Amino acid sequence: MNRADVVLRNCMVFTPGGLVEGGVAISDGKIAAMGGTPFLPPAKSEIDLQGAALFPGGVDTHVHVRDPGRRERGDFATESAAAAAGGITTILEMPISSPPQYTVDILENRSRCASERSSVDFGFYGAAGNRPEHIAGLAGRGVAAFKTFLFRPHAGREGEFEGTCAEGDGNLLEIFEAVAKTGKLCAVHAENDDLIRSFTRDVRAGGGRDLAAHGRARPPLAEVSAVAKVLAFARSTGVRLGICHVSTPEAMELIRREKAGGRPVYAETCPQYLFCDEESAAPLGPFAKFNPPIRKKADSEALWKYVRNGTVDYIGSDHGPFLLSEKEPGAEDIFAAPAGSTGFEERLPLFVTAVRERKLSLRRMVDLLSTNAARIFGLYPQKGTISVGSDADLVAVNLHEPFLVRASRMKTAGKGIARLYEGRRLFGVVGMTMVRGGIVFSRDGTLPQASGRGRDLFYRSSSEGAFQGR
């Protein structure tokens, strides 16, 4: 073959059969050849990966970057740099913003902002709430999926949730019917708002203000009852359903049974529900506050069964930085702090460490962090695999070198609140990340300007040549 643009040599390439010694050749941003080192073509440049494992770039299904409305929390430049540092090459951005993308115009503006700043590829969820008349237009213009919340907007954050929340069961049914017609997936934040408001009132009246109080205000029943409802509604409408950040084994069991019936239901969970528990996270207070909450240790341990048996389809980081000043009031009153934290840079090392601890296989890890999401969201085999013809979205990882998590070293603008894994000993040091053959992260810091390299994989502009995805 002709001379390649780049050849990556001396690495262990992930294949369906496991890690194979060799390398990869890249031309025009695509994988042009792969195989043993003696059989790789000549190239304009070569990179010796010094025995690192080479995986397909991560696809993160659950991302919150509040650009352009709340750039002080982090914009697409800072947060995509953090994604690249965590081996993530495609991010799917949720619609919590100012305003959320519930119309085509808002979607276009957000896509433009990301195109100017992001160093990794991306797509957007369309907001599917109390304005379902916009769903068909959003699908036609190009969104990765849709997202619906079952609760009313939080006080003071109404603008960030505009057009994203279902107003009762009738509206939810209308949303599902509209999304079903598009063929897109509808992702749902499944917690029972009426129960949460009742429990919160009781907990606050009893003086609860710590992290455990947050857990009592949003108990497993709030999630399980909501999951049961959305499964029934999806069954009735035929919508492809994604259930976000599942935190309880009881909800996972409901999903498992639904999937066994052949229905298009997909389960996402997040690292905080697998690697953390309420008891050990208690001292962190607001820095360990998520919705749904981090559960008790027994729940966390039970979730791993569903990770291993295939019920969980993909892992979302739920990356969503806030300002330190927004989190700090929660130290006195947990209900005064927003829920969420960072997660890009911790996701891959947590799972590499779990593989070393025999909690799951290496193949299952790659499926959960990359391949399954690429398939479900219509990006495979462009993304999610190391195959000839696929995008050269690649991450080189040292599987054997331990390191201590230090927020001070992170790329995210939210490093001030990144305390959940601080000081934890992990494996899986990311040495280099590529998006379509271009280096967007290098551990040694020597890389070209990557901001603006990312492109929208779904959006189709009415103007020829603009915002073209795949």
Query: Which helix (H) or strand (E) segment is 1 a member of?
Result: none
Q: What is the pLDDT of residues 230-263, one digit of tens each?
A: 999 999 999 999 999 999 999 999 999 999 999 9
Q: How far apart are CA 402 and CA 412, in angstroms?
A: 21
Query: What's the Cα-to-Cα distance from 139 to each of 91, 133, 135, 167, rounded to whole Å?
Result: 18, 11, 6, 21
pLDDT at 465 over 60: no
Alpha helices in 183-275 (DSSP H): 193-205, 211-217, 220-237, 249-260, 271-275
- Considering only residues 148 and 69, tell me which one the structure prediction assigns the higher pLDDT: 148
Average pLDDT, the chain: 95
Q: How far apart are CA 434 and CA 240, in angstroms?
A: 31
For the chain, percent of residues with pLDDT exceeding 70: 97
pLDDT value for 277? 98
Contact call for residues 439 and 451 (beta carbons, < 8 A) = no
Q: How far apart are CA 175 and CA 150, in angstroms?
A: 11
pLDDT value for 443? 92
Edge-first strand order for the sheet with 240-243 is: 58-63, 88-93, 121-127, 145-149, 185-189, 240-243, 265-269, 312-315
Q: How far apart are CA 331 and CA 3, in angstroms?
A: 59
Q: What is the pLDDT of residues 128-174, one digit of tens each?
A: 999 999 999 999 999 999 999 998 877 778 888 888 999 999 999 99
pLDDT value for 97? 86
Instruction: List, in order of start, the domains of the chain with CATH numbers.
Output: 4-54+390-442 (2.30.40.10), 56-376 (3.20.20.140)
The token pair at 43 is: 């190239």
Question: Count of residues for the chain?
Answer: 470
Contact call for residues 267 and 315 (beta carbons, < 8 A) = no
Strands 394-404 and 425-435: antiparallel
pLDDT at 394 over 70: yes
Rounded mean pLDDT of 428-445? 95
Rounded mean pLDDT of 41-63? 97
pLDDT value for 288? 98
